[in-house]
Amino acid sequence: MADRVSFLNINFDRMPESEAIEVLLARLLKRQGGRVYYGNAHTMVTAARNPALAQALEQGDLLLADGSGVRWGSAFLGTPLVHNLNGTDLVPSLCKNGAAKNLSIYLLGAKPNVASIAAANLKKAYPGLIIAGTQHGYFSDSETPQILEAIRVARPHLLLVAMGVPLQEIWIDQHANLLPGITCMGVGGLFDFVALRIARAPYFIRVIGMEWLWRLAMEPNRMWRRYIIGNLVFLSLVLSFASTLNQGEQTT
């Protein structure tokens, strides 16, 4: 059963993967629209110093827990988010389950050509899936209205926004209300993985919760700040939240 769990003052929706797919597919096919996000340690660290991101996460319709950092930190604080629901695993499952129901998706984000290669690979894997359109993620504010219009005309059930944290969440927060009936989901580096531009960690590394170490090894120049410094900041956020909780308990 799904329930809401507060972790570092942000509300997550806790549910197993099978339920997440069911809930998401129902939302998409009913054309409920809305905003769906994933929260991992990097998201939490960024939200702690970026109020626009914290607000976007708070105003989303679903926030799913992603990664071993969030799993460990939430368990440490006594509110365990036990299911790891990253978009890189969930989106292909969603496409697989939705393909027979004419699910249509639009891919927005990543470097030029990456979204179209990712779309072709998804289509090859799930032939029933409808690709409503693709657009790279390096566009200016002045191009945004025409990009929104193209998405509105294509009218996908699901808009995947792969522009990285916090850009994708803030973009969705600002524009989802202009896309009625279309669910927007922030998916980070998903297109790079599906287009096979960046290799995903082998299954056993993912199972033991070490995908972050793999990503660090794949892109050390870009990722060292996120995973070395970011993980330490995340640790200090969790520890200082725990000490606030302890102080609260001692004074009551």
Positions that interact with ligand UDP (CB under 6 A): 109-111, 137-138, 162-165, 167, 188-189, 191-192
Please, which residue, 7 or 193, has the CB nearer to ligand UDP? 193
**Minimum CB distance to ligand UDP smaller for 176 or for 223:** 223
Query: Nearest distance from residue 108's CB to ligand UDP, in Å?
Result: 8
> Facing residues of 186 across strands?
161
Tracing tokens 């640790």 back to the chain, one arrives at 235
- H or E element, residue 108: strand 104-109
Beta bridge partners of 131: 105
User: In whole angstroms, how close is the CB of 76 to ligand UDP at the nearest point?
Assistant: 23
Q: For residues 20 and 162, which CB has a smaller minimum distance to ligand UDP in the complex?
A: 162
Dist. CA 189–CA 176, nearest whole Å: 20
- Residue with nearest beta carbon to ligand UDP: 137
- Count other Cβ atoms within 10 Å, centred on residue 62: 20
Q: Compute the least distance from the CB of residue 238 to ligand UDP, in Å.
A: 20
| Least CB distance to ligand UDP at residue 165 (A) | 4
Do 165 and 187 form a contact (C-beta atoms < 8 A)?
no
Whether the upstream peptide bond of residue 166 has omega within 30° of 0, thus cis, is yes
Residue placing its CB nearer to ligand UDP in the complex, 13 or 169 = 169
